[in-house]
Protein backbone atom coordinates (compact mmCIF):
# COMPACT_ATOMS: atom_id res chain seq x y z
CA UNK A 1 0.00 0.00 0.00
CA UNK A 2 1.30 3.47 -0.90
CA UNK A 3 2.68 5.24 2.17
CA UNK A 4 1.45 8.59 0.89
CA UNK A 5 -2.20 7.82 1.59
CA UNK A 6 -3.94 10.82 3.17
CA UNK A 7 -6.86 9.66 5.30
CA UNK A 8 -9.60 11.78 6.82
CA UNK A 9 -7.96 11.33 10.21
CA UNK A 10 -4.62 12.54 8.90
CA UNK A 11 -6.28 15.65 7.52
CA UNK A 12 -8.02 16.39 10.81
CA UNK A 13 -4.79 16.01 12.78
CA UNK A 14 -3.00 18.43 10.48
CA UNK A 15 -1.95 21.80 11.85
CA UNK A 16 -3.97 23.41 9.06
CA UNK A 17 -7.34 24.46 10.40
CA UNK A 18 -10.28 25.98 8.57
CA UNK A 19 -9.24 29.26 6.99
CA UNK A 20 -12.03 31.87 7.31
CA UNK A 21 -11.74 32.95 3.67
CA UNK A 22 -12.12 29.33 2.57
CA UNK A 23 -15.35 28.43 4.32
CA UNK A 24 -18.17 26.68 2.44
CA UNK A 25 -20.45 29.67 2.97
CA UNK A 26 -17.89 31.99 1.35
CA UNK A 27 -16.38 29.73 -1.28
CA UNK A 28 -17.09 30.92 -4.84
CA UNK A 29 -17.46 27.28 -5.90
CA UNK A 30 -19.86 26.50 -3.07
CA UNK A 31 -22.81 27.24 -5.35
CA UNK A 32 -21.79 24.29 -7.52
CA UNK A 33 -20.49 21.92 -4.84
CA UNK A 34 -21.89 20.23 -1.72
CA UNK A 35 -23.56 23.42 -0.36
CA UNK A 36 -25.59 23.74 -3.58
CA UNK A 37 -29.13 24.77 -2.74
CA UNK A 38 -28.47 25.27 0.98
CA UNK A 39 -29.65 28.51 2.62
CA UNK A 40 -26.78 30.60 3.96
CA UNK A 41 -27.37 29.60 7.58
CA UNK A 42 -27.27 25.90 6.68
CA UNK A 43 -24.18 26.36 4.52
CA UNK A 44 -22.54 28.00 7.51
CA UNK A 45 -23.19 24.82 9.49
CA UNK A 46 -20.97 22.99 7.03
CA UNK A 47 -18.21 25.42 7.98
CA UNK A 48 -18.05 23.84 11.43
CA UNK A 49 -17.19 20.37 10.08
CA UNK A 50 -15.29 21.13 6.88
CA UNK A 51 -11.50 20.88 6.86
CA UNK A 52 -9.04 21.97 4.18
CA UNK A 53 -6.31 19.54 3.25
CA UNK A 54 -2.76 20.40 2.32
CA UNK A 55 -1.70 20.27 -1.32
CA UNK A 56 -1.44 16.76 -2.79
CA UNK A 57 1.21 15.88 -5.33
CA UNK A 58 0.63 14.04 -8.60
CA UNK A 59 -0.02 10.30 -8.06
CA UNK A 60 -0.50 10.78 -4.31
CA UNK A 61 -3.40 8.72 -2.96
CA UNK A 62 -6.37 10.18 -1.12
CA UNK A 63 -7.48 6.68 -0.07
CA UNK A 64 -7.26 3.06 -1.20
CA UNK A 65 -9.96 0.50 -1.96
CA UNK A 66 -10.91 -1.45 1.14
CA UNK A 67 -10.33 1.40 3.56
CA UNK A 68 -13.26 2.41 5.78
CA UNK A 69 -15.27 5.43 4.73
CA UNK A 70 -14.26 8.29 7.02
CA UNK A 71 -15.00 11.36 4.95
CA UNK A 72 -16.32 12.75 1.70
CA UNK A 73 -14.01 15.04 -0.26
CA UNK A 74 -14.78 17.99 -2.54
CA UNK A 75 -12.16 18.84 -5.14
CA UNK A 76 -10.87 22.38 -4.60
CA UNK A 77 -8.14 22.46 -7.23
CA UNK A 78 -6.59 20.02 -9.69
CA UNK A 79 -8.08 16.68 -10.66
CA UNK A 80 -8.29 13.10 -9.43
CA UNK A 81 -8.96 9.65 -10.85
CA UNK A 82 -10.66 6.68 -9.23
CA UNK A 83 -9.46 3.16 -10.03
CA UNK A 84 -10.32 -0.42 -9.12
CA UNK A 85 -8.62 -3.76 -9.70
CA UNK A 86 -10.67 -6.24 -11.74
CA UNK A 87 -10.86 -10.01 -11.21
CA UNK A 88 -7.86 -10.53 -13.50
CA UNK A 89 -5.71 -8.11 -11.53
CA UNK A 90 -5.82 -5.27 -14.04
CA UNK A 91 -6.40 -1.66 -13.01
CA UNK A 92 -9.59 -0.09 -14.35
CA UNK A 93 -10.12 3.66 -14.39
CA UNK A 94 -13.60 4.18 -12.95
CA UNK A 95 -13.82 7.93 -13.37
CA UNK A 96 -12.28 11.36 -13.06
CA UNK A 97 -13.10 14.06 -10.52
CA UNK A 98 -12.77 17.77 -11.27
CA UNK A 99 -13.13 20.94 -9.13
CA UNK A 100 -16.43 21.19 -7.21
CA UNK A 101 -17.08 17.44 -7.61
CA UNK A 102 -17.41 15.04 -4.68
CA UNK A 103 -15.16 12.05 -3.97
CA UNK A 104 -15.93 9.13 -1.68
CA UNK A 105 -19.54 8.29 -2.50
CA UNK A 106 -18.40 4.80 -3.53
CA UNK A 107 -18.02 3.93 0.16
CA UNK A 108 -21.48 4.99 1.33
CA UNK A 109 -23.28 1.67 0.75
CA UNK A 110 -20.82 -0.77 2.37
CA UNK A 111 -18.98 1.65 4.63
CA UNK A 112 -15.68 0.91 2.85
CA UNK A 113 -14.26 2.39 -0.33
CA UNK A 114 -14.71 0.28 -3.47
CA UNK A 115 -12.01 2.11 -5.40
CA UNK A 116 -8.74 3.96 -4.89
CA UNK A 117 -8.42 7.67 -5.64
CA UNK A 118 -5.22 9.46 -6.57
CA UNK A 119 -4.29 12.95 -7.78
CA UNK A 120 -3.79 13.44 -11.51
CA UNK A 121 -2.13 16.81 -10.96
CA UNK A 122 -1.07 18.91 -8.00
CA UNK A 123 -4.44 19.13 -6.26
CA UNK A 124 -6.30 19.93 -3.07
CA UNK A 125 -9.58 18.93 -1.43
CA UNK A 126 -12.06 20.01 1.20
CA UNK A 127 -12.79 17.27 3.74
CA UNK A 128 -16.21 16.55 5.25
CA UNK A 129 -16.02 13.91 8.02
CA UNK A 130 -18.75 11.43 7.13
CA UNK A 131 -20.17 10.90 10.62
CA UNK A 132 -20.58 14.64 11.21
CA UNK A 133 -22.08 15.07 7.76
CA UNK A 134 -24.68 12.36 8.37
CA UNK A 135 -25.61 13.94 11.69
CA UNK A 136 -26.29 17.15 9.81
CA UNK A 137 -28.55 15.48 7.23
CA UNK A 138 -30.94 14.37 9.99
CA UNK A 139 -32.16 17.94 10.40
CA UNK A 140 -30.96 19.60 7.19
CA UNK A 141 -33.14 18.00 4.52
CA UNK A 142 -31.65 20.17 1.77
CA UNK A 143 -28.22 18.63 2.41
CA UNK A 144 -29.69 15.11 2.30
CA UNK A 145 -31.31 15.86 -1.07
CA UNK A 146 -28.06 17.30 -2.39
CA UNK A 147 -26.13 14.16 -1.42
CA UNK A 148 -28.76 12.01 -3.13
CA UNK A 149 -28.54 14.15 -6.26
CA UNK A 150 -24.76 13.82 -6.38
CA UNK A 151 -24.96 10.04 -5.96
CA UNK A 152 -27.43 9.77 -8.85
CA UNK A 153 -25.26 12.04 -10.98
CA UNK A 154 -22.26 9.77 -10.40
CA UNK A 155 -24.27 6.73 -11.52
CA UNK A 156 -25.56 8.49 -14.64
CA UNK A 157 -22.05 9.62 -15.50
CA UNK A 158 -21.03 6.03 -16.29
CA UNK A 159 -23.61 5.49 -19.03
CA UNK A 160 -21.14 6.18 -21.85
CA UNK A 161 -18.85 3.50 -20.43
CA UNK A 162 -21.32 0.70 -19.69
CA UNK A 163 -23.54 1.19 -22.75
CA UNK A 164 -23.10 -0.71 -26.02
CA UNK A 165 -21.60 2.17 -27.98
CA UNK A 166 -18.93 2.51 -30.65
CA UNK A 167 -15.55 3.99 -29.74
CA UNK A 168 -16.41 7.20 -31.61
CA UNK A 169 -19.61 7.62 -29.61
CA UNK A 170 -17.92 6.92 -26.28
CA UNK A 171 -15.12 9.40 -26.94
CA UNK A 172 -17.40 12.14 -28.29
CA UNK A 173 -19.66 11.83 -25.22
CA UNK A 174 -16.65 11.85 -22.92
CA UNK A 175 -15.16 15.00 -24.49
CA UNK A 176 -18.50 16.80 -24.39
CA UNK A 177 -18.94 15.75 -20.78
CA UNK A 178 -15.56 17.21 -19.85
CA UNK A 179 -16.42 20.42 -21.69
CA UNK A 180 -19.51 20.72 -19.49
CA UNK A 181 -17.80 19.77 -16.24
CA UNK A 182 -14.82 22.13 -16.41
CA UNK A 183 -17.17 25.11 -16.19
CA UNK A 184 -18.51 25.49 -12.63
CA UNK A 185 -21.92 26.63 -13.88
CA UNK A 186 -22.34 23.65 -16.16
CA UNK A 187 -21.97 25.75 -19.28
CA UNK A 188 -20.09 24.15 -22.14
CA UNK A 189 -16.52 25.35 -22.61
CA UNK A 190 -14.96 24.99 -26.06
CA UNK A 191 -11.45 24.93 -24.58
CA UNK A 192 -10.57 22.07 -22.24
CA UNK A 193 -7.25 21.19 -20.64
CA UNK A 194 -7.20 17.40 -20.28
CA UNK A 195 -5.68 16.63 -16.85
CA UNK A 196 -5.48 12.90 -17.54
CA UNK A 197 -3.10 11.06 -19.92
CA UNK A 198 -4.56 9.37 -23.00
CA UNK A 199 -3.88 5.94 -21.54
CA UNK A 200 -6.26 6.74 -18.68
CA UNK A 201 -8.94 7.96 -21.09
CA UNK A 202 -8.67 4.78 -23.15
CA UNK A 203 -8.80 2.64 -20.02
CA UNK A 204 -11.86 4.49 -18.71
CA UNK A 205 -13.72 4.22 -22.03
CA UNK A 206 -12.79 0.53 -22.36
CA UNK A 207 -11.09 0.98 -25.72
CA UNK A 208 -7.53 0.23 -26.85
CA UNK A 209 -4.97 3.01 -26.78
CA UNK A 210 -4.42 2.64 -30.53
CA UNK A 211 -8.15 2.99 -31.11
CA UNK A 212 -8.25 6.16 -29.05
CA UNK A 213 -5.41 7.67 -31.07
CA UNK A 214 -7.12 6.79 -34.36
CA UNK A 215 -10.45 8.27 -33.29
CA UNK A 216 -8.82 11.45 -32.02
CA UNK A 217 -6.97 11.80 -35.33
CA UNK A 218 -10.26 11.20 -37.18
CA UNK A 219 -12.04 13.85 -35.12
CA UNK A 220 -9.26 16.32 -35.93
CA UNK A 221 -9.32 15.40 -39.61
CA UNK A 222 -13.09 15.95 -39.68
CA UNK A 223 -12.67 19.37 -38.11
CA UNK A 224 -14.53 18.44 -34.93
CA UNK A 225 -11.71 19.23 -32.51
CA UNK A 226 -8.17 20.56 -32.39
CA UNK A 227 -5.58 19.13 -30.01
CA UNK A 228 -2.40 20.81 -28.81
CA UNK A 229 -0.82 18.31 -26.44
CA UNK A 230 -3.41 18.20 -23.62
CA UNK A 231 -5.37 21.27 -24.67
CA UNK A 232 -8.52 20.48 -26.65
CA UNK A 233 -10.55 23.00 -28.63
CA UNK A 234 -14.02 22.00 -29.78
CA UNK A 235 -14.29 23.39 -33.30
CA UNK A 236 -17.58 21.84 -34.43
CA UNK A 237 -19.87 21.44 -31.45
CA UNK A 238 -22.87 20.32 -33.50
CA UNK A 239 -20.75 17.73 -35.26
CA UNK A 240 -19.40 16.30 -32.02
CA UNK A 241 -22.90 16.19 -30.53
CA UNK A 242 -24.12 14.36 -33.63
CA UNK A 243 -21.48 11.65 -33.13
CA UNK A 244 -22.56 11.17 -29.50
CA UNK A 245 -26.30 11.35 -30.22
CA UNK A 246 -27.01 7.75 -29.08
CA UNK A 247 -25.43 8.27 -25.67
CA UNK A 248 -27.96 9.49 -23.05
CA UNK A 249 -27.45 13.19 -22.26
CA UNK A 250 -27.35 12.39 -18.52
CA UNK A 251 -23.98 10.67 -19.04
CA UNK A 252 -22.41 13.92 -20.16
Question: What is the SS3 assignment for 88?
Answer: coil
Q: For 38-148, where are the E strands, in sequence order?
A: 51-52, 61-63, 71-77, 80-85, 91-97, 102-103, 116-119, 124-129
Higher pLDDT, 155 or 128: 128
Q: Where along the chain do the CATH 2.60.120.10 domains lie?
A: 8-156
* Sign of CA pseudo-dihedral 120, 126, 132, 133: negative
Please list the alpha-helical segments (H only) found in 76-137: 130-137
Q: For the chain, where are the E strands, in sequence order?
A: 51-52, 61-63, 71-77, 80-85, 91-97, 102-103, 116-119, 124-129, 191-193, 225-228, 231-234
Count of residues making up the chain: 252
Higher pLDDT, 141 or 196: 196
Mean pLDDT of the chain: 84
Question: What pLDDT shows up at residue 185?
Answer: 59
Mind listing the pLDDT tens digit for each residue in 96-137?
999 989 999 999 989 999 999 999 999 999 999 999 988 888
Superfamily designation of domain 8-156: Jelly Rolls (2.60.120.10)
CB 103 within 8 A of CB 80: yes
Mind listing the pLDDT tens digit for each residue in 80-94?
999 999 888 999 999
User: Which residues does residue 232 pair with via DSSP β-bridges, in sequence order?
Assistant: 192, 227
Tell me the C-alpha distance between 50 and 31, whole Å.
16
Tell me the C-alpha distance between 90 and 250, whole Å.
28
Mind listing the pLDDT tens digit for each residue in 20-72?
446 787 877 766 787 777 788 888 888 888 898 889 999 999 999 999 999 99
CATH code, residues 160-251: 1.10.10.10
Q: Where along the chain do the CATH 1.10.10.10 domains lie?
A: 160-251
Amino acid sequence: MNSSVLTAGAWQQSEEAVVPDHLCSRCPRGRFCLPLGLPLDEAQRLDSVMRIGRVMQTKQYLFHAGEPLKALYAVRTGAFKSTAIDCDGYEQVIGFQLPSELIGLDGVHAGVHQCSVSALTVSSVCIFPYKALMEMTSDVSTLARQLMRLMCKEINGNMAVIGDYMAEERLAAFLLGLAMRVHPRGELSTRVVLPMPRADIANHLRIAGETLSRVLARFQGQGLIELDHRVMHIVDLDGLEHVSRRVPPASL
